[in-house]
Structure 1
Amino acid sequence: MTCFLLFILCGLSSGALGKGKEPKEQKGKFSVPALDVKDQQLVLEANQTLTLNCRGRWELSWAFPVGVAKDQESVKVVESRCGKRRQQFCSLLTLTPARAQHTGSFRCRYRHRPQRQSPVYVYVTDSRQPFVELQLRSPDVVYIKEREPLVFPCRVTNPNASVSLVKYPDQPLVPDHRNIVWNSRQGFVVRRPSFIFVGLFSCQATVDGVKHTSKYLAIRLVNKITAVYLNASGPVQALQGETLSLNCTVTAELNSRVSIIWSYPAQANDSASITRRIEKRRSHTLFYSVLSIPRLQRSDRGLYTCHVTSGPQSRQANVSVTVYDRPFIRLKPRHGVVLETHAGQKSYRLSPKLRAFPGPEVIWLKDGMAAAERCSRYHVDGSSLVIRDVAEEDAGKYTMLVGIQEHGLYQNLTLSLVVNVSPQIGEKAVSVQDPGTVQRGSRQALHCTSHAVPPPQVQWLWYPCPSKGLLATPRA
């Protein structure tokens, strides 16, 4: 009985551990899906039907060439269970009618493990369309990148097509199977492109006496970012509900390819719209990316960063955005309401603490009159009042008027300025007169005229005449 219970517990334990696990990696049958074709490529005629049957151990999915994705109505996929015990999965793909642009790789793969797949390359031949991609009148652009092969993507609908590569105006380039290689599934591949591969090229194929051409403009990419800057030179402040617009401008060399990506606080909300524009100049290229948020919320405040990459190069510019609920004015003294300075000082600045949004209008008054009109030495610098060449008459009451007219907000602050004046004796300004001789015992009056702010204290000292050639010590 004990052995029987142990057997049941072990069985339950094994089942519980196995439940919900991913299928184990197996290298046996159906480790990758199996297609019902033996060759790695198929060749069909245009308007024929392509049928592919795929079988596997788990659920299946298909990956199609680019040309098929644009024409889904021609594709039909039927899923079913198959095998002796119906433990396998089958998927039947039908493509009808097959077109030249359907040429490419069809891949059957496991849905949960797409890296496990079985491909087959299908050519859909059409004598009227030897090249898979239909080209407009203007040539396609291909880029020469550092340490990467250059591909002229003129892949063909027939694996046996004869194609030549010609540089404009009439210079054929013969594949040497080392640097220039022809591949019917890719086109012409130049493994180590040099400067001679910059310019206009064409892939040419002649079918039934008709010449077909695909043109390509090869441009050498330059990865040099000269400058990145935003239209906001400092922190941005805005009111809730207003529109925020930030422009990231990138200056790069000609032929540069630039990627611009924004990161910002409410990025997950998709509340922002981004528009891009490229402007070619004679010596450089300008890339513009404008981020706009129509109705700002408190959640939109924070750091906005413009990330720019061009090949291995990367740069960025950022700005801080503050969103206020309502307009405001906050005004208070910086060092009290009574201030002191000295006459003769080169300049003195009256600068209370002011915070306001939106930017307010500031007017300074001196004793009730506009300061700038009262004296040419008074200059308003931002929200501060600067007094040049301070004089005694600059003492008085200064009033700062702050207003945001569109929101009806007003505030003022009055400061008293005391201008200290160094003591001066008026008699020193005139030449010294010889008092002459006076009669002994007579009364004489000596005058001392002085001025200072604050009022000075006057002290008299008496210097007796020198005795026997020696200077006497003055007496108070």
Structure 2
Amino acid sequence: MMNFILICLICGLYGVLAKDKDQKGRFSVPILDVKARQLVLEADQTLLLSCRGRWELSWAFPAGLTRDEVQVEDSRCGRTSQQYCSRVTVRRSQSQHTGLFRCRYRHRTQKQAAIYVYVADSQQPFVEPPDMSPGVLYMKEKEPLVIPCRVTHPNITTTLVKFPSPGLSPDQRNIIWSSKKGFTVRTPTFYYIGLFYCQTVAEGVKHKSRIYFVHRPVSNITDVYLNSSGPVQALKGERLVLNCTATAELNTRVNITWDYPGKINNAGFTSKRLLRHQTHMLFYNILTIPKLQRSDRGLYTCRVTSGNQSKQQKVTVTVYDRSFIRLKPRNGSVMVVQAGQKSYRITPKLRAFPAPEVIWLKDGMVAAEQCSRYHMDGNSLIIRDVAEEDAGKYTVLVRIQEHGLYQNLTLTLVVNVSPQIGEKAVSLQDPGSVPRGSRQALHCTSHGVPPPHIEWLWHPCPSKGLPAAPRP
């Protein structure tokens, strides 16, 4: 008897578990009371949809249906009230209500059941009514282009029109028509940039959809540069203006941002400009700091981004408390050079701010006015084809007149000249025989810097055919 009771209990438990498992499998996704995948209503009809599931339910409606136009009733249902039911009512359905109705679990939204509802209206065949402003569609590289002129009945046929060209019919290869999506262009080219609309004929009347502007965004930054090619130096209290310019292909849109020491304190402000040229776009972003402080010194970075592309330029800003001149010799105050050298550069150590005026003097007169071989290169004086007459005193005058700062430095240039003998030989002619004991004068003229030392050597006459050794 006990065994019989135990067997009955096991069988009963198995039956409950099997039923529960069947219920779980049955309601793994919610179930709609309409088995079809699409439903066609006439305008002003009432739409009723019911959904049943194992957990709490929620709905997602077409964009054209507002919450005020729909009524949702939730309840517990099933034999033991273990299930959840939800009922949707839309009274006086309109063409803009056409779209996908989705019933899903509130906490598992990927589990859903859906039905596409058409609300047919011969007076308004397109779901989205014509509008004064065109809709903007972005054509992306290697992605299909969808022109969403959906219709209110599955049997409506339409034509795609590019203004002002004639219409394009779907070929089901590259141009595909769907009443639920509109026109899909699988591999759009540059031809599909511009204004498009769809049109159809209902009861002998031609209808047009909303106009769509197809735009192809481009993310190709050609170059980024600043108005300063090198480090920027400025005085405390001065105004700093940095201009970041980006060049890009037509149809490109860029975002320009700045990173700089005073950004956290809003020390500066930016202004933007956009110029369109025939072959490219120019984007300007100007950073201005009205009054520089010592805390504004540091690295300034302009970042330009467009899509996945990014470029940047950097510049270092130095802020000085006051103007200054620091001038001293580079390698002592006396310089030595060899005559005949192709060029010689006189460069002192000079640091100054703001940029000073520099004048070079030679022996008290402006160097560049004395000789065409003298010319300035930056703060240096260059002497071409160095000659003996280039020796002398060179003075560099440095001044920042607007700040009343003046300083000068005098350097001495010594030009070494290789010794040369004026006469090609001590005697051009053989003096011949001279009386023994007579007095003879021989002349040797030489020149050089420093002055050369002259030494005489005597070559006695050879005897017995042997060369004579020179004697001092």
Task: State TM-score, norm by structure 1.
Answer: 0.68
- Report the CA distance between 1:455 and its aligned residue: 1.8
Cross-structure match for 1:8: none
Change (3 A) 1:456 1:202: same
Q: Does 1:293 align with 2:252?
A: no
Change (3 A) 1:121 1:331: farther
Change (3 A) 1:302 1:210: same
Quick check: 1:145–1:221 contact (8 Å CA) kept in 2? yes
Cross-structure match for 1:454: 450
Q: Secondary structure at the match of 1:428?
A: coil
Please list the CA deviations of residues 199-243 of structure 1 after superposition, one character each: whole Å capped at 9, or x if unmatched: 653212456735224344556666655x31414462231424422
Change (3 A) 1:317 1:374: farther
Change (3 A) 1:245 1:469: same
Q: Distance in 2 between matches of 1:359 and 1:219?
A: 50
- Report the CA distance between 1:465 and its aligned residue: 1.6
Quick check: 1:331–1:412 contact (8 Å CA) kept in 2? yes
- Report the CA distance between 1:431 and its aligned residue: 7.7
Q: Does 1:318 align with 2:292?
A: no
Q: Secondary structure at the match of 1:467?
A: coil
Q: Where does 1:198-213 land on structure 2 (aligned, <5 Å)?
A: 200-205=195-200, 209=205, 211-213=207-209
Cross-structure match for 1:88: none
Cross-structure match for 1:166: 161
Change (3 A) 1:335 1:468: same
Q: Does 1:230 align with 2:248?
A: no
Aligned-residue Cα RMSD (Å) equals 5.4
1:438 to 434, 442, 446: 434
Quick check: 1:229–1:317 contact (8 Å CA) kept in 2? yes
Cross-structure match for 1:89: none
- Report the CA distance between 1:118 and its aligned residue: 11
Cross-structure match for 1:463: 459
Q: Where does 1:66-81 land on structure 2 (aligned, <5 Å)?
A: none
Q: Distance in 1 between matches of 2:350 and 2:247?
A: 36
Q: Where does 1:327-406 land on structure 2 (aligned, <5 Å)?
A: 327-406=323-402
- Report the CA distance between 1:388 and its aligned residue: 0.8
Please list the CA deviations of residues 109-148 of structure 1 after superposition, one character each: whole Å capped at 9, or x if unmatched: 99999999999999999957946375447x6664543310
Q: Which has the larger radius of gyration?
A: 2
2:272 to 271, 275, 284: 275
Q: Distance in 1 between matches of 2:399 and 2:146?
A: 65
Q: Secondary structure at the match of 2:424?
A: helix
Quick check: 1:258–1:287 contact (8 Å CA) kept in 2? no
Quick check: 1:237–1:323 contact (8 Å CA) kept in 2? yes
Q: Distance in 2 between matches of 1:276 and 1:32?
A: 54
Quick check: 2:333–2:410 contact (8 Å CA) kept in 1? yes
Change (3 A) 1:129 1:176: closer
Change (3 A) 1:344 1:196: closer
Quick check: 1:204–1:214 contact (8 Å CA) kept in 2? no
Change (3 A) 1:302 1:99: farther
Q: Does 1:132 align with 2:128?
A: yes
Change (3 A) 1:101 1:384: farther
Q: Secondary structure at the match of 1:440?
A: coil
- Report the CA distance between 1:332 and its aligned residue: 2.5
Q: Distance in 2 between matches of 1:157 and 1:116?
A: 27
Counterpart residue identity of residue 197, structure 2? S
Please list the CA deviations of residues 314-359 of structure 1 after superposition, one character each: whole Å capped at 9, or x if unmatched: 4634232223133333322222221111111111011122233332
Q: Does 1:150 align with 2:127?
A: no
Counterpart residue identity of residue 301, structure 2? Y
Task: State TM-score, norm by structure 2.
Answer: 0.68
- Report the CA distance between 1:162 and its aligned residue: 5.4
Over the matched positions of the two proteins, sequence identity in percent amounts to: 49
1:242 to 239, 243, 246: 239
Please list the CA deviations of residues 250-270 of structure 1 after superposition, one character each: whole Å capped at 9, or x if unmatched: 143x5x524343352348535
Q: Distance in 2 between matches of 1:214 and 1:301?
A: 53
- Report the CA distance between 1:363 and its aligned residue: 1.1
Deviates more, 1:431-440 or 1:104-113: 104-113
Please list the CA deviations of residues 175-221 of structure 1 after superposition, one character each: whole Å capped at 9, or x if unmatched: 45564344566532222335664565321245673522434455666
Cross-structure match for 2:260: 265
Counterpart residue identity of residue 245, structure 2? C
- Count of residue pairs brought into register by the alignment: 428
1:180 to 175, 199, 204: 175
- Report the CA distance between 1:387 and its aligned residue: 0.5
- Report the CA distance between 1:153 and its aligned residue: 3.6
Please list the CA deviations of residues 455-475 of structure 1 after superposition, one character each: whole Å capped at 9, or x if unmatched: 222222111122223221211
Counterpart residue identity of residue 364, structure 1? W
Q: Structure 1, unaligned stretches of length 5 or more?
A: 1-26, 49-56, 77-81, 84-97
Deviates more, 1:188-197 or 1:109-118: 109-118
Q: Secondary structure at the match of 1:427?
A: coil
Q: Distance in 1 between matches of 2:166 and 2:463?
A: 120
Q: Does 1:417 align with 2:413?
A: yes
Q: Distance in 2 between matches of 1:399 and 1:277?
A: 51
Quick check: 2:343–2:383 contact (8 Å CA) kept in 1? yes
- Report the CA distance between 1:405 and its aligned residue: 2.6
Quick check: 2:128–2:210 contact (8 Å CA) kept in 1? no
- Report the CA distance between 1:167 and its aligned residue: 4.0
Q: Secondary structure at the match of 1:214?
A: coil
